[in-house]
Chains A and B, each alone.
Chain A
Amino acid sequence: QVLLQESGPGLVKPLETLSLTCTVSGGSIRTHYWIWLRQSPGKGLEWIGYKHYSGSNNYNPSLRSRASVSVDTAKTQFSLRLSSMTAADTAMYYCAGMPVGPIFGWFDPWGQGTLVTVSS
């Protein structure tokens, strides 16, 4: 059973860059695309971007210019960097996996989430 655990700061100042890490355990990092999502009361569930260990990736067009997802196979971790944070980026951030296959795009498993607040 693949388990995911997010880590990172809960508080970020405006205009700073958010860095979050998700540790993968109980399975191979090669079997999924690794994705970051967030959830806020105002915008609901929103995907940010994903990456496969092979390098293929994609980003939500609305966040593409500020987001970057990386995968570290040696540490079995993947990470999110989101630059130029504003109050609108305050949300619960989740890491999740998309099983690789001829059709993909559903999210399983999920981390438990980490609340990120943007405030000075």
Chain B
Amino acid sequence: EFVLTQSPGTLSLSPGDRATLSCRASQSLDSRYLAWYQQKPGQAPRLLIYGASSRAAGIPDRFSGSGSGTDFTLTISRLEPEDFAVYYCQQYRSSVMYTFGQGTKLEVK
């Protein structure tokens, strides 16, 4: 079973801070098969990053993704008030089983 573990569970920061969110895979993952999403309360998830580092259309450049192997990172360079939300990573290495991490909640300190 392919498991994605996100850390921390909750991250408390202030607007203007830099946020670093982690996603660890239970097996090595080609970076082409890793995506990140943002979900705000009452809304559907929104694609931020695919292929570990490619920003989706309309996503501000303060969002960046990196990583390889089993360790991947979503970085928000300078937090805006609208960035406080829950973030999920997702792997799509196998079309037989797509899996999501359990999420990191980014909250205002």
Residues of B within 8 A of A (CB): 32-33, 35, 37, 43-47, 50-51, 56, 88, 90, 92-93, 95-98, 100, 102-103
| A84→B100 CA distance, assembly (Å) | 25
Q: Which residue in chain A gives the minimum CB-CB distance to B94? A: A105
Q: In whole Å, how far is A65's beta carbon from the nearest beta carbon of chain B?
A: 15
Residues of A within 8 A of B (CB): 44-47, 58, 60-61, 94, 96, 103-108, 110-113
Q: State whether A106 touches B47 (Cβ < 8 A).
A: yes
Q: A106-B90, A108-B56, A111-B44 are in contact. Are A61 and B50 (CB under 8 A)?
A: no
Q: In whole Å, how far is B38's beta carbon from the nearest beta carbon of chain A?
A: 11
B98 / chain A contacts, CB cutoff of 8 Å: 47, 105
| A44→B37 CA distance, assembly (Å) | 13
Q: State whether A106 touches B44 (Cβ < 8 A).
A: no
